[in-house]
Amino acid sequence: MSSATAEVSSLIEDLCRTEQRLKELTGGEVDTITDRDGRTFLLRHAQEELRHSEAARQAAILNALPAHVALLDSRGVVLSVNDTWRRFAGVGAGINYLEVCDNAVIADGIRSVLDGRANTFSIEYPCPSPEEQRWFLLTVTPLAGDHPNGAIVMHLDVTAERRTEESLRLSESRFRQMAENIGEVFFLQNLDSSEIYYVSPAYERIWGRTCESLYENPASWGDSIHADDLHYAFGKFKEGRNSGFDYEFRIVRPGGEIRWIHVRGFPIVDDAGKPYRTAGVASDITQRKLASDTLRESKRRLSDVMDNVEMVSLMLDTNAHITYCNDYLLRLTGWRREEVIGEDWFERFLPFDRGDVRSVHAALLADLPSSSHHENEILTRAGEKRLIQWNNTLLRSAAGEVIGTASLGLDITERKQSEARLRLQSFALNAAANAMIILDRDFRIVWMNPAFTELTGYSEDEAIGSNVRELLSPGLHDAAFCKEIRDTIVGGETWRGEMTNRRKDGRLYPEATVITPVKDEDGTISHFISIKTDLTVERQMEAQLRQAQKMDAVGQLAGGVAHEFNNLLQALMSMAAIIRLRAATAEIATIGTEIELQIRHGASLTQQLLVFSRRQVAQKSALDLVKQVEKASVLLERLIPETITVVVEISPGPLMIEGDEGQMQQVLLNLALNARDAMPSGGTLMLRTGSTSGEVFLEVEDTGLGMDEATQAHLFEPFFTTKEPGKGTGLGLAVVYGIVDQHGGRIDVRSHPGEGSRFRVILPAIRSDGVPVALPSAVAEITSGSGRVLLVEDDKAVREGIAELLEMIGYEAIAVASGEEAIAIALDPPPDVLLSDVTLPGIAGSVLGERLRERWPSLKVVLMSGYLEEKSRADAIDRGWHFLQKPFEVTDLATHLGAAMNAR
């Protein structure tokens, strides 16, 4: 034993030294060492430190506890207490807790744990204190170990918990009280409805089932739901299980009675926010539901009516903001409902002329009777105007207060347009210049316009109801023509054509007619429309046009003939003059004179032809027609036989025209002589003058034979005569026509066979202060002259004749056939006068005159022409030249040459 003790003592010494050495080596910074076998040794100083820190930690924990903690030994003596205990009880270690405890139950409990009879003991007890009632929880726990060697006693202040619990109990009792007394069913269940935690007693009243039956069989909730709503109700429930639900459904009570239920519910969530229960309230809404369904149904029906009716339905509040409108308004205007509801009606739909309509709205709100009906235009979204006829009424609240207006509006745009169109059409028909009639199927006139009366002379009283054919054309049209018209129009086609009808006064008139059948809705012809155009004036115009064209053609012909004749006569005239002047005997001289007379007669004929063809030049001046008539009447006295009475009716004042006096006299004489010839067995010849607006006229009227229409049609044509051969040339009236036409006038002829004739010559008037134009006076004497005359004439006979005449009257004549020759010929000394025809094959007379005057500036020019045109003459005179109208006599030639030579 001693050796063993010595060895132990030696080992301990080694241990101490080893530890000391290790500590030195590691500076005290190492806690453990490990040997090669992996055995780890905790160094002793580290063990002590560890133990010390562990105890300190535990004490700290104990002291930090809010509970009062004491450690008892097996006898109940307090070994230690924590700070809380110490502060509370003041008692420390050393006393026997069992002895100081004044509560027997607690003492017994502690004892049972200390004895090992109980594993733990706990009790909640009240602890009265002066300030307030406090509650404590006492826990006794045996100290660890196989057998009892003490216990830990802990008092915990649970006053707060106790209060919470108390209030919870109170609120639960209140909830229960409430839940059991309210009319609604309150329920609490798990999420899938497989367990009902609570359902309030109202369930029994509403559902007609006991609460117990639901607790026992939660699925009976679903059983009670009306079959039609089951799917819907479960769907809604599932959908809202995690977020809340609110829906309505029907249940069937055990007796078969149906009730409407409104259920609202919400999830109850745990601390993590996860739903774990569902709470809800279900109420019986059967009464309300039935009432609202009825109301909704009636509203729906009304709304259906409003939406389907083809009228605008509109409600405005007192500020004219739209509170309701039906679909029709939206369809009509193109706005969407959300764009109009709440908007100002006038701003939205009446961006123009709002004032008037606003005042209607104001009047309506003021309950003025005038405002219940009106029309106004509204504007669609696209900017189109629609005319609406409104029917307005006031809206009042139940209390009778005005809350707005309601209006029904009919879109009358089309109706108005068609009314306006009809009015226009009716106006047009009545105003139309064309006669129009509407016939029924039996061709009786049922309608006519005023132009029809104008055309036919029949008034409405006379025409309406009459058969159109019997009225206008009895016996005028043959059966085939009538059948053609009838077949066309009865066959549904339009007939167009011309026909002659008879006026009420018996006169016939031509008309263009269009007859169109009118079909009713099913395609049957109900009426015919006949439109008539009076062709009387057109026919007259056509006749006049034809006449004018004919006269023009004849005039050209006559003019051409006259020109040729003039050249012929000019040659003859020259030769006759030579015969006369150079006659060997007086007898031959007389023959020459006779030839000249006959040539002059021929020249006067061609002169008249030229006048007719308007190629004679009128020497116009201001003339008083009255004086002309007076002058002519004096002349006529010698020409009119005594069997004819001449009556002159002249207007008091002067009647001024611009005219050629000679031609006017010729007109008067020609007309008067014709009148005379029309009255072979005597009668009255009347000469009249007069004036109408801007025009003056002279009339020559006889009481003679008169003329039929055929004669009147050819009256003014040259060589047309009704007289016996040899009695007239047929040029008299043609000349009158030519003269009047040249004076800008016209001739009106009235004549019927056996009733005499009246010729009225109508001429444009001028003012009475018109300046008369002086007429050149003719010189009859032959004046001889001297000088060189260059004669240019393409017609050989004429050229030779004139050349001879020139020499006879003392001139030296150099005759060439063309302008080219005249230019080519070298003359020295130069000629004094150029005598040239106007119309030449090459260079014209006027051009030739210009050219030669360039060469010989002092050259005088005399132009001559068989045509007599205003222009050629005017051109010649404008240049200061002379002009000779063919055929001219030797005296004319001598006069013009003499005048030309003498001019400087």
Partner 1 sequence: MFRFRLYVAHNTYNSGQALANLTALCRTWLPGRHEIEVVDVFREPQRALADGILMTPTLVRLAPLPIVRIIGTLSEAQPLLPALGLGSAAA
Q: How far apart are CA 283 and CA 268, in angstroms?
A: 20
Comparing CB distances to partner 1, the nearer of 28 and 334 is 28
Least distance to partner 1, CB of residue 152, Å: 25
Cα(761)–Cα(433) distance, integer angstroms: 32
**Minimum distance of partner 1 from residue 31's CB (angstroms):** 4
Contacts for 327 with CB less than 8 Å, ≥ 6 apart: 307
CB of 99 to partner 1, least distance (A): 41
CB of 38 or CB of 130, closer to partner 1: 38
Q: How far apart are CA 156 and CA 84, in angstroms?
A: 10
Establish whether the linkage from the previous residue to 254 is cis, with ω within 30° of 0: no
Q: Are 137 and 120 in contact (CB under 8 A)?
A: no
Q: Is the dihedral of CA 193, 194, 195, 200 positive or negative?
A: positive
Q: Smaller CB distance to partner 1: residue 12 or 50?
A: 50
Give the span between the Cα atoms of 904 and 504, in whole angstroms. Answer: 76
* Cβ partners under 8 Å of residue 512, min gap 6: 496, 497, 498, 532, 533, 535
Residue 514 DSSP SS3:
strand
- Nearest distance, CB of residue 21 and partner 1, angstroms: 13
In whole angstroms, how close is the CB of 27 to partner 1 at the nearest point?
A: 7
Residue 557 tokens read as 């012909």
Residues 119, 144: contact at Cβ < 8 Å? no
Q: How far is the CB of 263 from partner 1 (least distance, A)?
A: 58
Q: How far apart are CA 729 and CA 715, in angstroms?
A: 13
DSSP 798-814: HHHHHHHHHHHTTEEEE
Strand order in the sheet with 833-837: 811-816, 787-792, 833-837, 860-865, 882-885
Q: Which lies closer to partner 1 via its Cβ, residue 41 or residue 234? A: 41
Whole-number minimum distance, CB 41 to partner 1, in Å? 10
In the complex with partner 1, the residue whose CB is nearer, 31 or 339, is: 31
Residue placing its CB nearer to partner 1 in the complex, 52 or 727? 52
Q: What minimum distance in Å lies between the beta carbon of 49 and partner 1?
A: 4
Distances in whole angstroms, Cα of residue 700 to Cα of each of 6, 360, 406: 199, 77, 86
What CA–CA distance (Å, rounded) separates 821 from 816? Answer: 6
Q: Do the beta carbons of residue 371 and residue 391 sit within 8 Å?
A: no
How far apart are CB 19 and partner 1 at their closest, in Å? Answer: 13
Q: Which of the 8 DSSP states describes residue 462?
A: H
DSSP 662: H
Is residue 653 within 8 Å of residue 615, measured between CB atoms?
no
CB of 81 to partner 1, least distance (A): 28
In the complex, minimum distance from the CB of residue 155 to partner 1, in angstroms, rounded to a whole number = 32
Q: How far is CA 387 from the centre of its chain?
A: 16
Residues contacting 432, CB < 8 A, separation 6+: 449, 451
* CA dihedral (845, 848, 853, 856) positive or negative: negative
List phi, psi (to 5°) of 18.
Answer: -60, -50
For partner 1, the closer CB: 36 or 638:
36
Rounded Cα gap, residues 873 and 766, in angstroms: 25
Nearest distance from C-beta of residue 83 to partner 1, angstroms = 25
Q: Which of 488, 489, 530 is nearest to 511 (CA)?
A: 530
CB of 15 to partner 1, least distance (A): 17
Which residues are CB-contacts of 593 (< 8 A; sequence separation ≥ 6)?
A: 576, 580
33 or 901: whose CB is closer to partner 1? 33
567: which 2 tokens?
């050249």
Nearer to partner 1 by C-beta: 17 or 87? 17
Nearer to partner 1, 44 or 441 (CB): 44
Q: Which is nearer to partner 1, 39 or 638 (CB)?
A: 39
Residue 22 CB, nearest distance to partner 1 (Å)?
9
Which residues contact partner 1 by CB under 8 A?
A: 26-34, 37-40, 42, 46, 49-50, 53
Minimum Å gap between C-beta 57 and partner 1 is: 10
Nearer to partner 1 (CB atom), residue 36 or residue 336: 36
Calculate ∠ Cα 258-262-265, nearest 5°.
Answer: 135
- What Rg value do the Cα atoms of the chain yield, rounded? 72
Comparing CB distances to partner 1, the nearer of 26 and 190 is 26
> In terms of CB distance, is 29 or 521 closer to partner 1?
29
Q: Are 511 and 485 in contact (CB under 8 A)?
A: no
Kindly tell me which of 54 and 812 has the beta carbon lying closer to partner 1.
54
Q: What is the nearest approach in angstroms of partner 1 to the Cβ of residue 26?
A: 7
Q: Please report, for residues 101, 430, 631, 720, the alpha-carbon distance to residue 94 in angstroms, rounded to integers and kept in the order given.
A: 14, 141, 186, 182
Dihedral over Cα of 369, 372, 373, 376: its sign: positive
Indicate the residue among 40 and 693 with the shorter CB distance to partner 1: 40
Distance of closest approach, residue 18 Cβ to partner 1, in angstroms:
14
Instruction: Kindly give, in sequence order, each residue whose CB lies less than 8 Å from that of residue 217, ignoring residues fewer than 6 positions away.
Output: none
Integer Cα distance of 288 and 293 in angstroms: 8
Q: Shortest Cβ distance from residue 54 to partner 1 (Å)?
A: 9
- The smaller minimum CB distance to partner 1, of residues 41 and 247, is found at 41
Query: Which residues, listed in sequence order, are joined to residue 762 by a DSSP beta bridge?
Result: 697, 746
CB 794 within 8 A of CB 646: no
Q: Dihedrals φ, ψ of 691, to 5°? A: -145, 150
Q: Which residues pair with 467 in a beta bridge?
A: 444
Tokens representing 447 are 């309608």
Instruction: Rank residues 37 and 401 by Cβ distance to partner 1 and give the closer one.
Output: 37
Cβ of 881: how many Cβ atoms within 10 Å?
22
